[in-house]
Structure 1
Amino acid sequence: MKPRIVLFATILVIVSMFTGCGTTSNQGVNNPIISESQAQEKEKSISKDNNDNKEMGYEIIRKVSEMRDSNTKIFYPQISGYKGQLLMDYMNQSLKKIVDIYGKGEMYQNISIDYKITKMDKDIISVLFKGTGRISNGREINIQQSVNLNVKSSNEIVFKNFVKDDPTSVEKVMTLLNQKAKAMGSKYGVEAEGIRIFFEGENIVFYYMPADDSAKSFVEISVPLKELESFLNHDFEKKPAS
């Protein structure tokens, strides 16, 4: 009887080894923060948004990129139905950059990223990506990236081109951010190597990873756009050369 049990156990191990090597899309990556039920709810939400916003002239398709070798799963949006094919291609390339950064090469592993559309209208689409993972030395990381696009031109909006490029505007914006950061408990205000943005309703959210080596979470500072109106650029509609 024992030899039969051993043989059966051996067969199970062999079968499990072969099924784990598959690359089909319906074999999900072990992903602790993105469950199948969450993914389905996200699909329903996007479908509802597309039905509600058909008058905008485009819709959002939810895509996923899976790399089994690195245990990586990245959800990202793509624009569909936009009247200009070239501009739509440009925007979709920008929206897929998250895959190029974290889904290729050997630097990152166990990456799990999902996204939220924080603003979507005829002029702007703003997408916030969040997730977790590990870098090649085994250190765990929190991931936060954003893509903000002018829908009429495909131009990307970032902190550097959103704030007017003059000393007064930069100083005024940084003074306000420092005040708000201190009010949130930061002793010295904003201390970061880079500041990024995303749009949310009538607000602009500035976020950054503190320069402190022990910091693991991003800091977000939400500011009503009207408070910064005179210090911001608004002309992002010049179309890129084809």
Structure 2
Amino acid sequence: MSYQQFALLYDELMNDVPYDKWVSFVERKMDQYDVMAPSLLDVACGTGSVALPLMQKGYDVTGVDLSDDMLSVAYEKVRSAGYDAAFYQQDMRELSLDREFDCVTIFCDSLNYVTSEDGIKQTFKKVYEHVKPGGLFLFDIHSLYKIHQVFMNETYTINEEEVALIWTCFPGEEPDSVEHDMTFFVQDGEYYQRFDELHVQRGYETDHIISWLEEAGFTVLCVEGDFTEELTDTTERIFFTAQKKPR
């Protein structure tokens, strides 16, 4: 079984993730801040689970991801739905496309995979270069509460018909980081193949994120929790809305 096939099964395993909420978040922010022309760059687009619904709503979407295999699944998903989009294999810290967009997104806690402060700053700088003046930068991160109180030293399991997952979380080497040790068992005929992955994520203080955004040239318009709520001590996912200053 190729990793591309595995990426597709992984996509099916995550089919209960509320991607529609991220789509609604984009629409709400674009409307709230009067950003009308819907060109959008979806950074860390994965298998296109946010990109495709945005295309179906009329957005001109370009996707970027670090994984060629995820991009292959995204391309086939979009093409099968009758849409066309450009997808590029790039590291968000080295983003380099020859155009600007009305909106850039980094969703599904993908920014937590950047595990150094310099990496976050470099990502913000690169995103700034790809946002039109007056355009929006929308993203979310896992909160420090979720890193330490929800993930740390916990084990989760998922058991589906064709794939099972054992997911163990333990402290990482960097401050405020967690390592996700994932073991997948994927059905291949009458047998199961095992795949092991190690994902590392790091949490950051909200004030630091705001400071780095401003350092990159953005104005921070809104910080909220879990899509639409005010921040609390138990917020698990923090959403940021930033704007490139109009000329």
Task: State if a TM-score over 0.5 links the two structures.
Answer: no
Give the TM-score of the pair, scaled to structure 1.
0.28
Q: Which has the larger strand fraction?
A: 2
Larger relative contact order, structure 1 or 2 (CA cutoff 8 Å, min sep 6): 2
Give the TM-score of the pair, scaled to structure 2.
0.28
Larger Rg: 1
